[in-house]
Structure 1
Amino acid sequence: MSRRTSPRRQPAITATSPCPCGLGAPYGECCGSLHQGRAAAPTAERLMRSRYSAFVVRDAAYLLRTWHSTTRPPGLDFDPGITWTGLDVLGATGGSAFHQEGTVEFRAHYRVGGEADSQHELSRFVREDGLWVYVDAVG
């Protein structure tokens, strides 16, 4: 008798779950409020954290909405075999309420095929129509 294995599913995130971005607040009060449009990211780092959380909860609409109009892809597909497991923000430049642009360096941890791995990126953010948006990876 053979057994077929399926990719591990991402654990369900609810409004009261710890937010995947790592700030310690419940998802509904943290990135969930951004995903639902009840609040806007005040800094480039908060936008980056909310975008990581959007990958965790597979919110393509939010990711596309927070992508710069000149670099936004027409759509997104999520790899069902990836389980996001954590985020480390390594540094940021600019990106505050007083800036028009900024960068955030991060490492996003995930598991795929039972193996742990990570994505390291220096992301560039700018304001578009007054809101922080992701432009691209630097370098």
Structure 2
Amino acid sequence: MKCPCNPSKLYNDCCKKAHQNILSVTTPEQLMRSRYSAFVMADIDYLQKSHHSSTKPSSAEKREILDWTKSVEWVKLDVLKSTENTVEFKAYFSKNGSLNVIFEKSLFVKENNHWVYKDTIIAHGI
């Protein structure tokens, strides 16, 4: 199977490693890509695990995220810029036959010796 974050790679050689062992993630971009793939695959447990404890969605929000991510068809991910702790990207998805895009600049930090998503700095879309 091709990896959702980068169709030129196989999932087994890309995001599967992060999904099985978050400690294998070495950069914010790698974590963001693995989170995108988790959205595509509706892997809410990984999304929770890769989220900072201070901003982690509640159980009710977790259910809403799962329902939403299953209601859309993910199209592609474009990483626009990566820095030491931020990643700017566009995530494209289709809902009810309409193409939509999420543009986001996300902040990543280390917690418990691994990278986690902390917060959104800039967001447009949805």
TM-score class normalised by the smaller sequence: 0.7 to 0.9
Q: 2:42, 2:56 → 1: CA distance?
A: 17
- Which ranges of 4 or more aligned residues in structure 1 deviate by more than 3 Å? none
Q: Could you tell me which residue of structure 2 aligns to residue 43 of structure 1? A: 27
Q: From 114, 118, 123, give the equivalent of 1:135.
A: 118
Q: Could you tell me which residue of structure 2 aligns to residue 5 of structure 1? A: none
Q: Pick the structure with more strand per residue.
A: 2
- Spell out the pairing of 1:6-85 with structure 2 (5 A cutoff): 17-22=1-6, 24-37=8-21, 40-75=24-59, 76=62, 77-78=65-66, 79=68, 80-85=70-75
Aligned length: 116
Larger radius of gyration between Structure 1 and Structure 2: 1
Gaps of 5+ in 1: 1-16, 95-101
Q: Could you tell me which residue of structure 2 aligns to residue 89 of structure 1? A: 79
1:28 counterpart SS class: helix
Under a length normalisation based on structure 1, what TM-score does the superposition of the two structures give? 0.78
Gaps of 5+ in 2: none
Percent of pairs identical after alignment? Answer: 41
Q: Pick the structure with more helix per residue.
A: 2
Under a length normalisation based on structure 2, what TM-score does the superposition of the two structures give? 0.86
CA shift at 1:22, angstroms? 1.0
